[in-house]
Amino acid sequence: MSLSTAFVRPALCCLLALALPLQAQVSAQGAAPLPAPAAPAAVRLPALGESAAEDFTVGTERRLGDQIMGEIRRDPDYLDDPVLLEYLQSLWQPLVEAARARGDIDVDVSGQFAWEAFLVRDRSVNAFALPGGFVGVHLGMIAMTASRDELASVLAHELSHVTQRHIARSIASQQRQSLLGMAGLILALLAAGRSGNPDVAQAALVGGQAALIQGQLNFSRDMEREADRIGFAVLDQAGYQPGGMAAMFEKLDNANRLNDNGAFPYLRSHPLTLERQSEARMRLQGLPPHATKTVSPLLHALMAARARVLVDTSVTALRRQQDLPALRPGHGAAERLAGLYSSALASSLLRDHAMAEQRNREARALLAETPGADAAVARSLWLLDAEGRLAAGDLDGAAKVLADARQRWPDAAQARPPLLMQAQAALQTRPPAREERLRQSTEALQTWVAEHPRDAYAWLLLGNTAEALGLRLRALRAQAESRLLVGDLRGAMDRLRSGRQLARSGVSGQDFIEASIIDARLREMENQRRQLAAEQRGGRGGDKEPPADRDDAPPRLQQPLFGS
């Protein structure tokens, strides 16, 4: 049986596709007939706040999400761009806090879910929720939105899928599959959707499960309406313009009329029925008048421009961005500023550093003449300047720009983008300034990862700076944490074992506290390995465990995400 890419592509959008009607299921042997449709009461969705399903606990959902995210972080299309990710987080966190204030996030879910938004380098207009509180956003989605409120409305909708535990409701009936089996199925579906190749899609869906998965890929309209309704309320409470959701619906609807070639996969899994669009407009009309924070549109224009550059870094695409029509007279200030930003960033990636510096100067001059610009816009241009100097090898210049930024915006001095830029500069610095810069960066990164322990890139940089300073135990522990976050449990344990062996060797100058942490983390990872091995054997844990001294590799998910 051949499957079209239009059938598989919706799997990229929101993994609520993972299990809906039991009527769609087929027995493993494919011989049993489909059961008769159940009465409406049998398929009633749980009320808001009702527990998802006892068989699919919060902890189980989080472990499934962690398994999937470990594969995602290893994929080349997973994008950890500190500047763009910081902007996405600035929109995401107020929504999470608003959901907590509303009571949509209960105590159990609040502490165990990740509540993490991440970026995917893909030009298609798409966003999707994963188990365990992870939400992915394609660069194409950021690039096509005209305001932060439109982008926030998409995040609020996906967040509501998570807070209402739609994923748990959907796949609770699939508990006969092991946890890793479900993760492998999700990754296979995502990879098949990205491939655009019907043969790959067919290979991902073999085994007599086609009818089952086809039923699972159809979204529950009740869940979509619920996510719309709750997402609208969360968007409003978080301080965004609630009209952003209606505006986004209209934009997607217009795009759908003009373009049906698969470039808007968000529409496949979130069909814009007239009912959904009408309800969004009615909610807006029924909203009582109240003051919302007015925010300059310039920052979003810059971040959308950055997304358009980073989505395709081929030489041809970068040259197009380097010479945008928006640079010519006649365009508005926001469009011209975004064009200069795009040109500067593209020039830096093309290693045309003189052009990058010139465009950045022009952008700052234009910003000085533009009324209503806030400090965040100016800071973005300063960070772009530091980024360009770092790419050009002007380490002293980059350090000066970052120091200037710390003086201008002291509240943002410890933010992630300058922190990572400083570490990159320190690693490239030559003596005599090298050791002091490395030491400052190592301590700053240590403080950062203590507060953000799931930051794989910060752990990686900490491992590099600590290694350069000769802090072997700290370096090995940081490298282990970085490997664990990208799903390489065996690599993480190998590094911790090396650290334990080094600590026991009695080498002078080793840190006793770091050695104790390494011992504790190694025990935790050994327990995790045994649990994963038990799940791989087909249970939800099972009674049997492998011997403690076994050194077999942890189970790998069978299909890499976003693979070609």
pLDDT at 541 over 50: no
Residue bearing the bigger pLDDT, 51 or 146: 146
R_g (Cα) of the chain, nearest Å: 25
As a whole number of angstroms, the distance between CA 388 and CA 396 comes to 12
Looking at the structure, tell me whether residues 335 and 203 fall in a common domain.
Answer: no
Looking at the structure, tell me whether residues 302 and 256 fall in a common domain.
Answer: no
pLDDT of residue 259: 55
Inside any domain, residue 141: yes
The answer, yes or no, to whether the previous bond of 35 is cis (omega within 30 of 0) is: no
Looking at the structure, tell me whether residues 235 and 364 fall in a common domain.
Answer: no
pLDDT of residue 253: 76
Inside any domain, residue 271: yes
As a whole number of angstroms, the distance between CA 113 and CA 163 comes to 10
**Range with the poorest average pLDDT among 77-86, 156-165, 168-177, 333-342:** 168-177
pLDDT at 275 over 90: no
Domain final position from 285, 304, 321: 285
Query: How many Cβ atoms are within 10 Å of 61's Cβ, its own excluded?
Result: 25
* pLDDT confidence band for 64 (50 / 70 / 90): confident
Domains identified in the chain, total number: 2
pLDDT of residue 405: 86
Looking at the structure, tell me whether residues 351 and 239 fall in a common domain.
Answer: no
pLDDT of residue 426: 95
Angle between helices 148-163 and 298-310 (to 10 degrees): 70
pLDDT at 516 over 50: yes
Domain final position from 413, 431, 466: 413
Looking at the structure, tell me whether residues 236 and 345 fall in a common domain.
Answer: no
Inside any domain, residue 142: yes
What mean pLDDT do residues 291-319 have? 89
Inside any domain, residue 269: yes
Residues 6+ apart with CB under 8 A from 432: none
Residue 530: both structure tokens together: 């045994």
Inside any domain, residue 542: no
**Range with the poorest average pLDDT among 155-169, 237-251, 506-520:** 506-520
Domain final position from 413, 444, 478: 413
**Range with the poorest average pLDDT among 106-110, 288-292, 427-431:** 288-292
pLDDT at 551 over 50: no
pLDDT of residue 37: 36
Q: pLDDT per residue over 6-60, tens digit each?
A: 323 333 334 433 333 322 332 333 333 333 333 333 333 444 444 444 557 888 8
What mean pLDDT do residues 292-296 have? 65
pLDDT of residue 192: 59
Cβ atoms of 485 and 459 within 8 Å: the answer is yes
| Residue keyed to tokens 């510096």 | 357
pLDDT of residue 512: 84
Looking at the structure, tell me whether residues 204 and 231 fall in a common domain.
Answer: yes
pLDDT of residue 332: 83
pLDDT of residue 485: 93
pLDDT of residue 10: 35
DSSP string, 297-328: THHHHHHHHHHHHHT--SHHHHHHHHT-GGGS
Strongest mean pLDDT among 269-283, 323-337, 495-509: 495-509
Looking at the structure, tell me whether residues 251 and 335 fall in a common domain.
Answer: no
Cβ atoms of 562 and 75 within 8 Å: the answer is yes
Query: How many Cβ atoms are within 10 Å of 231's Cβ, its own excluded?
Result: 27
pLDDT at 83 over 50: yes
Strongest mean pLDDT among 222-226, 253-257, 354-358: 354-358
Domain that holds residue 374: 296-413
Inside any domain, residue 361: yes
| Residue keyed to tokens 């810069």 | 437
Q: For 424-486, where are the E strands, in sequence order? A: none
